Chains A and B, each alone.
Chain A
Amino acid sequence: MNKTSKANTIEILNLDDKELLRISKENLLSLSIEEMKAIQQYYKKIGRNPTDVELETIAQTWSEHCKHKTFTGIIEYKEIQNSKFKIKNYDNLLKQTVFKVTKELNKEWCISVFKDNAGIIEFNKNWGVAFKVETHNHPSALEPYGGAGTGIGGVIRDILGVGLGAKPVLNTDVFCFGPIDYPYKKLKENVLHPRRIFKGVVAGVRDYGNRMGIPTANGAVLFDKGYVYNPLVYCGTVGIMPKDKCFKKVLPGDLILAVGGRTGRDGIHGATFSSTSLDKDTEVSAVQIGNPIVEKKVLDTVLQARDKNLYRAITDCGAGGFSSAIGELGANCGARVYLERAPLKYEGLAPWEIWVSEAQERMVLAVPKKNLKKILKIFSDEDVEATVLGEFTNTGRLEIFYHKEKVCDLDMNFLHKGLPRFHLKAIWKPPKLRKPNFRKISKIDPAEALKKILASPNVCSKEWVIRQYDHEVQGTSILKPLQGRKADSPGDACVLRPILDSFCGIAVSNGINPRYGFIDPYWMTASAIDEALRNITCVGGDIERTALLDNFCWGNPKDVKQLGTLVRSAQACYGIAKGFEVPFISGKDSLNNEYVDEKGKRMSIPGTILISAISVIPDVRKVISMDFKKPGNLIYIVGITKDELGGSHLYYEYGIDGNSVPKVEPISAKKIMKSLNVAIRSGVVKSCHDCSEGGLAVAIAEMCFAGGFGAEVSLKNIVTDMGRPNDITLLFSESNSRFIVEVSPEKEKQFQEIMKGNIFSKIGNVTNNENLVIYGLNGKILINENIYKLKDAWQSTLKNV
């Protein structure tokens, strides 16, 4: 668009399809032909051409980022399995899967779900807790430090902008990168090396989170060659808020108050930009640069104003800037804005640029006129800029003025509901993977495989990352990300106590495993849900007080196969979460994560779902860590071990294919988790660890070196459904819903009593030496390794990045 500081009219009334598309493309609007035609129709009816401000407003509001057009569109889904067809049509995938679970479960402790900037659940009598996870993938691919920093900055503002504002108490971060040893020669022009993206992203999150004074205590880092061109950066924030501050309501006559950073040209077109794929010439005014010090001041002052009840509504300026924030707050009444009042970083911005800029650290408030003086004083006392931009009206229109000239006059109803719906086709067919090569498997040396998996980038210690984050600020940590005798071993979930005069706490965990998705995205999603819930269970959380968040990162939804895998993943969200009776409270999708090279070849990420779980813990004094506590204690495995090595770490390390991806039976899994929760809460369990990535061998090795004790374990008593079980499968199968549990001999009876009706068996005991000894089915020693050597293998991979 024109960059003069004046609004321009854009001729669209008499354009044909080709020219309409050209307008969309030239101005980076990312609007489809159907959408451009709907806009043309609207302007034909009112008999004039749009201004650039109007066109930009519509483009931002209708962007994939803001409206989730794929998920809410009409999808024709076809499934082909064993040459049988199954057809299902979706008239809003989101409503028919993820939302549906929550609606059907109708938990009374869910306060606000899927309608605000974050989901809110009940914490205790007086408090609610809000959780949101966002992605910032495209910006982080181009400028890792700024992209990741503003990613965390943005999700913090989501929490500050939920209801009437929550206080952030925890950040979480999950990253997917290309392999850090990816050959430089193979990289395309202008693509940053995975190692550089990795370091930049970690530094960005570190600098923003630490400077905001918010602990970062949960996360994950994954590496796969599918993420070389499109890294994934998930940022989440948990906040705590008084229960009577969970809802907002704008009234006509309220003033529109912009608070925080100034507006500049940075971050223009972020929302529409996220609706397209990257290529080597991607326009980059879209990159935002963050300033955590400004955001910290905004946070502190807004919470003061909240507690004095000085405003009626608040939201953050995220994607789409003022256009989205004011457009959303005024959606049900109307708004009048005077753009020239917005404080600018420098002169020369066109009105449309001011309106859609995604400059960081800005919030928009609806303030009753009588409170203006008081609220302005709070901000000016702390040197925070606050400016009245206009007011909310009862006209049902969005009216924008720039130096007395009317530059936008849009019907709110058209703006928010005039969007034509997507019609998409989706196909899913199971991939044909080769059967595993049993000769290759029989040659695997168990001890070597264990060390290999411990050292593999996805399992190995992430201490180098975790130590850069402050996880102690605010003084609330109960279970830290690194646990064990030397505080350097992998915890399952973090637990914090956000209100220091109460023993009530919050546990947060996540589940993600894109490699299962190569076989079946349904079971990938099921496994991610099971993993997140397992992690909560391990530390002592009750899954009946647990809520989930979904974050889909996928490739191009116009590709029928890609969309097929996405539908299948969403189906699992419904099926599995319903089985567990755990609701979703918030979520987000990031599509078009693909790179188009100079020959037009499309490279897409593996469809990846992150499931985050949050659980309210009634008494944090009952939580347990994952390290073995005492020699002589007994080791139990809970849950059934199946022949499920498809997509496993073992197969990946040895280059073996396989189709038997781990499945989930939510009904029996829920029963296990409930019983185990009772056992942990009554104090009969000394330690508990998630038996997943790398299977039983990895889980026990981690518990050993975390506690500084050895263990003797036999595979003989493991309960399995295999007709002819073998050592390798028992050691490394990644069957879901399994736990390794340490119980003292005195409490054994009580433990068995509580666990009755579930599958569990005793497999060994903790020893007073430094060796992990595992006996095979025939009674011979399979593994006999020094635990500190195993720890070395686990620690060395990312020690000196």
Chain B
Amino acid sequence: MRKYKIEVFNKENIFDGLAHNLMKDIFDLGIKSLKGLKVSYLYLIEGNLNLSQIKTICEKLLIDPVTQEYKIANLKHKISDRNAHIVEVWYKQGVTDAVGDTTKIGIKDLGIEGDFSVRTGMKYTLVGVNIKEAEKIADKILANKVVQTYKII
């Protein structure tokens, strides 16, 4: 049983509409100290797949090679920037993860067989805010506690 956490994000210099809109929402919330925001899509694949299969999945299915790139992340984040906080948002147990389900079908369509599960989440790197502000942003904008949980790293 192996666990892979894949992070998909926009290449440098590619406009990120989602991040742009979220920054606006955060300013509207009254938090003006935010300097930057980076958004990545997370996929947690658990099961008997090997690294080369995972790479195929990333390249053929999860990224748009023109605008996006990926990395197979460590399960634990390391933060180099002291002023940054990472918010990870995941669905709660039992909540239907439609993107995860569709990804699973996509992987099978690539001809990759095996016993595995896929869960999806979001990662937001907030630059310039303190931990309290990060919590407020996560509560009010990034996560909906009805269906999601978040952790701040």
Contact = CB atoms under 8 A, between A and B. Distances in A.
Interface stretch (B22-30, B39-47, B61-69, B125-133): B22-30
B25 A265 contact: no
A196 B140 contact: yes
Nearest to A146: B147
A264 B101 contact: no
B141 interface: yes
A264 B28 contact: no
Given A287-B146, A289-B147, A291-B102, A196 B94 contact: no
Contacts of B95: 266, 289
A560 interface: no
B144 interface: yes
A573 B101 CA distance: 45
A266 B94 contact: yes
Interface residues on A, range: 20 to 34
Interface in A711-725: none
Chain B, interface size category, equals 10 to 19
Contacts of B14: none
Interface in A402-455: none
B96 interface: yes
Contacts of B1: none
B25 A195 contact: yes
Interface in A98-157: 142-143, 145-146
A335 B102 CA distance: 34
A195 B28 contact: yes
A322 B146 CA distance: 25
A346 interface: yes
B147 A184 contact: no
B98 interface: yes
A800 B24 contact: yes
A145 B21 CA distance: 16
A192 B147 CA distance: 14
A291 B29 contact: no
Contacts of A184: 29-30, 140
A360 B101 CA distance: 14
A15 interface: no
Interface string B133-153: 000000011001011000000
Given A184-B30, A196-B25, A266-B95, A291 B146 contact: no
B109 to A, nearest CB: 10
B30 A291 contact: no
A196 B96 contact: no
Contacts of A266: 94-96
A198 B91 CA distance: 21
Contacts of A471: none
Contacts of B144: 142-143, 145, 192
Interface in B29-80: 29-30
A291 B140 contact: no
B98 A142 contact: no
A199 to B, nearest CB: 8
Nearest to B30: A184
B89 to A, nearest CB: 13
A265 B94 contact: yes
B99 to A, nearest CB: 9
Contacts of A142: 144, 146
A291 B147 contact: no
Contact of A143 (B28, B97, B146): B146
Nearest to A143: B146
Interface string A275-304: 000000000110111110100000000000
A284 B102 contact: no
Interface string B91-118: 0001111100110000000000000000
Given A184-B30, A289-B147, A264 B98 contact: no
Given A265-B94, A346-B94, A196 B146 contact: no
A192 B29 CA distance: 12
A249 interface: no
A359 B96 contact: yes
B147 A143 contact: yes
B147 A287 contact: yes
A345 B30 contact: no
B136 to A, nearest CB: 10
A357 to B, nearest CB: 11
A291 B25 contact: no
Contacts of B147: 143, 146, 284, 287, 289
Contact of A289 (B98, B102, B140, B141): B98
A345 B25 contact: no
Centre residue among B97, B141, B144, B146 by max chain A CB count within 10 A:
B146
Contacts of A196: 25, 140-141
Given A195-B28, A196-B25, A800-B24, A291 B94 contact: no
A311 to B, nearest CB: 26
Interface string A31-73: 0000000000000000000000000000000000000000000
B140 A193 contact: yes
A103 B28 CA distance: 52
Contacts of A345: 96
Contacts of B101: 291
Interface in A253-277: 264-266
A729 to B, nearest CB: 38
Nearest to B98: A291
Interface string A181-212: 00010000000110110010000000000000
B124 to A, nearest CB: 15
A289 B95 CA distance: 7
A17 to B, nearest CB: 34
Nearest to B21: A199
A284 B144 CA distance: 12
Given A196-B140, A289-B95, A359-B96, A284 B24 contact: no
A356 to B, nearest CB: 16
A291 B141 contact: no
Interface of A: 142-143, 145-146, 184, 192-193, 195-196, 199, 264-266, 284-285, 287-291, 293, 345-346, 359-360, 800
Closest 9 CB pairs of A and B: A291-B98, A289-B96, A284-B146, A142-B146, A143-B146, A265-B94, A266-B96, A143-B144, A143-B147
8 contacts: A143-B146, A145-B144, A193-B140, A284-B146, A289-B95, A291-B101, A345-B96, A800-B24
Given A142-B146, A199-B21, A293-B102, 15 more contacts: A142-B144, A143-B146, A146-B147, A184-B29, A184-B140, A193-B140, A199-B25, A264-B94, A265-B94, A284-B147, A287-B146, A288-B96, A289-B96, A289-B98, A800-B24
